Structure 1
Amino acid sequence: MSDVSAVLTLPYLLPSQAQKHVTHNEALRRLDVAVQLAVIARDVTAPPASPAQGDRYLVPAGASGDWAGHADEIAVYDLNTWIFQAPVAGWVARVLGEDAQIRFDGTAWQDGAGALQVETLGVNGAADVTNRLCSVAPATLLTHDGAGHQLKVNKAAAGDTASLLFQTGWSGRAEMGTTGTDDFAIKVSADGAAWITALGFDGASGTVSGAALQDSPTDTGAGKLARAEYAYGPGNLLGTVSETGGTPTGAVLESGSNANGHYLRLADGTQICWQQMTSSAAGQTLWSFPAGFLGGTVPVVQATGQVQTAHFASVGAPVATGVNFSVWGLSGARVAYATGLVAFGRWA
């Protein structure tokens, strides 16, 4: 039979032992160290010059004096001498000078994440095998330790779920995270059973989809967000107009000019052309439009003489590509005068 206990190596009293109080007191001294273990500091490398009875320190590596060779042991000042107690794996100690908790793992003292390892932890509530960390409180604070702070939710594989779930009466109402894929999504539910992906963000491209977004150029549902290719702004207001079935598919306004004049096209199919030309006294003058009108349609054309001696201007029957015009003087004959020409019609 051993003379000491298996865990704390407390000395046993032996049959017919003399001075049993010595052995008993030694066991009490060791219990005095281990029970409700708290040390003043763990970074003091030399024994204090004037310690008080019962002062306890965790001896660090490289300690000197009476503490030399006792790294990781508990030094206790008792009966005017330093007594050392070697820790056992699983011992937990409070470092009073730091207000920190540390744990001995069998090799070294650990702090931070290694200081507390439990299967479940409930703060003012019961944790279980699924919700292993439970906090029942008006609020939960996670803050920085001198700089930034990250809350990390990790999953094993792309097909798993890493998300934040918001509930009402333990029934889901909103969820955000990577659910079933590595694409990020924000989902909502009215009953906790049927879910709608309000916004989804493609993990490769960063582009957005979802019920909260326009799904076509003609989708003007209330409360929906506009898509860049369906809405208009400085980047696509001006450009080449186009349409499909009456729905614009290009810019809102298109303008241009060439030797035949200027033109303006609107996304609704309207087109305006204008030019200033000099008429001929010998006969009609052809104005070829700077941009053609829709085939089979007849644009409305106006011609105006630009000098006071002109009597009136006239145009022939316009076609999609151009029109003939003349200017008549007060004498009743064709004259060569500067003429303003405007044509209204459709390009689509």
Structure 2
Amino acid sequence: MSERSISLSLPFIQPAQAQKHITHNEAISTLDTLVQLTVISATSTNAPTDAELGDSYIIPAAANGDWADHADDVATKVEGGWRFATPNLGWQGYVQDQAIVMLFTDQGWGPALGALNNLPELGIGTTADATNPFSAKLNRALWTATEAANGGTGDVVQALNKETSSDDAGFTFQTGYATHAVFGSFGSDTVRLATTTDGTTFKDAFEVDAPSGVLVQPNLPRFRASTNFDNLAAEATWVKVAINQTEFNDQGVFDPATSLFTAPLDGTYAFGGFLAFKRDITSNVRLRGRFVKNGTDEVAGSSNELASQPTHNLTGLGLHTLVHLTAGDTVELQGYFRLGSGYFKADNSVFWGYKIG
């Protein structure tokens, strides 16, 4: 018959053993120490001379004196000295001076949380799976820096590292687990913010070119257009200039058939234009221009008149303005001649605009 138990090495009472109470009491005392193990310290290398009966310690490496050659053992003060218990894998104990739980593994004693390495899956408030090996179901999360006064640097940095430039690193924003936006470097090192309505086709709101740092807005509503014929305007008559050919027309915001810009979204828009002068009967005219909203409303502050008599085929009037529009509002470029009729010259009379906010 074995003299001690396998896990805790508790002494067994042997057949025909004298003074059985000694063996029994030793087993009870050992259980009293190891069950719900609490130790005073795991860093003391010398047995304390003022230890009281029942005080326990985890012995670190390079211990001295009575604790020499007992690294990792649990030492408990008993009458006449120290009792040592050699730990098995999985033993745990609360360390009072560090206020932590320590776990014994094949690497020795260490913080129990330190054993949470190389976990295949981890779920917080929910179940993780192979697709999402780390999952958390919560309402708020906080990352805060360890202050310099507490041994930290005061910084807090989160890194997303991908293997190659053509891989993805970023954030996916979902509603009901359906993707509506992504932010990060997807498929290249260019930083992108993109939206989607079907989870497949994405439209970039902006891109930051990796080599140059230049901000690009590939889907910004904007246009530049001109007229390809001389527009005649009678004296003292406001005329919508027939801007009928586009140089660029992102989001299709300008209609060359109607010479109208239509706001796709609520917001602030910038507009500019140039009315090039071509003589009809005389150059002794005065040239005006303006922007008009929804066909009838002059955009406040956009009306202007050339201060001097225009020069045939050489001069003209420049216009620019900012205006807040509601989705569906239209803007057009209008011209006017005082003291005579005239033309808004082909190719050089232009109209442009874009959303700025």
* Partner deviation per Cα, 1:225-277 (whole Å, 9 max, x = no partner): 99xxxx99xxxxxxxxxxxxxxxxxxx9xxxxxxxxxxxxxx83769xxxxxx
Structure 1 segment 290-301 matched on structure 2, within 5 A: none
Q: Contact 2:10 / 2:30 at 8 angstroms: preserved in 1?
A: yes
Q: What is residue 75 of structure 2 aligned with on the other side? A: 75
CA distance in 2: counterparts of 1:21 and 1:178, whole angstroms: 73
Question: Which amino acid in the other structure matches residue 274 of structure 2?
Answer: D
Q: Contact 1:56 / 1:76 at 8 angstroms: preserved in 2?
A: yes
Structure 1 segment 264-343 matched on structure 2, within 5 A: 268=274
CA distance in 1: counterparts of 2:156 and 2:82, whole angstroms: 43
* Partner deviation per Cα, 1:43-77 (whole Å, 9 max, x = no partner): 33333333333322222334333223333332222
Give 3-state SS (helix, strand or coil) of 1:45's partner.
coil
Q: Contact 2:276 / 2:313 at 8 angstroms: preserved in 1?
A: no
Structure 1 segment 201-212 matched on structure 2, within 5 A: 201-212=208-219
Structure 1 segment 130-209 matched on structure 2, within 5 A: 130-146=131-147, 147-209=154-216
1:169 Cα deviation (Å)? 1.8
Question: Which amino acid in the other structure matches residue 82 of structure 2?
Answer: W
CA distance in 2: counterparts of 1:113 and 1:152, whole angstroms: 22
Q: Which runs of 5+ in 2 are unaligned?
A: 148-153, 225-248, 254-262, 285-310, 315-343, 349-357
The normalised TM-score by structure 2 is 0.53
Identical columns (%): 32
Q: Contact 2:181 / 2:193 at 8 angstroms: preserved in 1?
A: yes
Distance 1:36 1:132, change over 3 A: farther
Q: Contact 1:38 / 1:96 at 8 angstroms: preserved in 2?
A: yes
Q: Contact 1:174 / 1:189 at 8 angstroms: preserved in 2?
A: yes
Q: What is residue 55 of structure 1 aligned with on the other side? A: 55
CA distance in 2: counterparts of 1:201 and 1:112, whole angstroms: 44
* Partner deviation per Cα, 1:113-151 (whole Å, 9 max, x = no partner): 733244333333323333333333322222222222222
CA distance in 2: counterparts of 1:101 and 1:319, whole angstroms: 91
Which structure is higher in RCO with an 8 Å CA cutoff and minimum separation 6?
2
Q: Contact 1:173 / 1:189 at 8 angstroms: preserved in 2?
A: yes
Question: Which amino acid in the other structure matches residue 202 of structure 1?
Answer: D
Q: Name the larger-Rg structure.
A: 1
Give 3-state SS (helix, strand or coil) of 2:185's partner.
strand
Distance 1:94 1:151, change over 3 A: farther
CA distance in 2: counterparts of 1:204 and 1:54, whole angstroms: 67
The normalised TM-score by structure 1 is 0.54
CA distance in 2: counterparts of 1:92 and 1:122, whole angstroms: 23
Distance 1:191 1:21, change over 3 A: farther
Q: What is residue 84 of structure 1 aligned with on the other side? A: 84
Distance 1:33 1:154, change over 3 A: farther
RMSD: 4.4
Question: Which amino acid in the other structure matches residue 159 of structure 2?
Answer: K
Q: Contact 1:213 / 1:225 at 8 angstroms: preserved in 2?
A: no
Q: Contact 2:73 / 2:85 at 8 angstroms: preserved in 1?
A: yes
Q: Number of paired residues?
A: 250
1:192 Cα deviation (Å)? 4.2
Distance 1:37 1:116, change over 3 A: farther
Question: Which amino acid in the other structure matches residue 140 of structure 2?
Answer: A
Q: Which runs of 5+ in 1 are unaligned?
A: 233-251, 253-266, 272-293, 302-317, 322-344
CA distance in 2: counterparts of 1:166 and 1:11, whole angstroms: 61
CA distance in 2: counterparts of 1:73 and 1:17, whole angstroms: 29
Distance 1:212 1:26, change over 3 A: farther
Q: What is residue 328 of structure 1 aligned with on the other side? A: none
CA distance in 2: counterparts of 1:211 and 1:114, whole angstroms: 47
Give 3-state SS (helix, strand or coil) of 1:114's partner.
helix
CA distance in 2: counterparts of 1:183 and 1:79, whole angstroms: 72
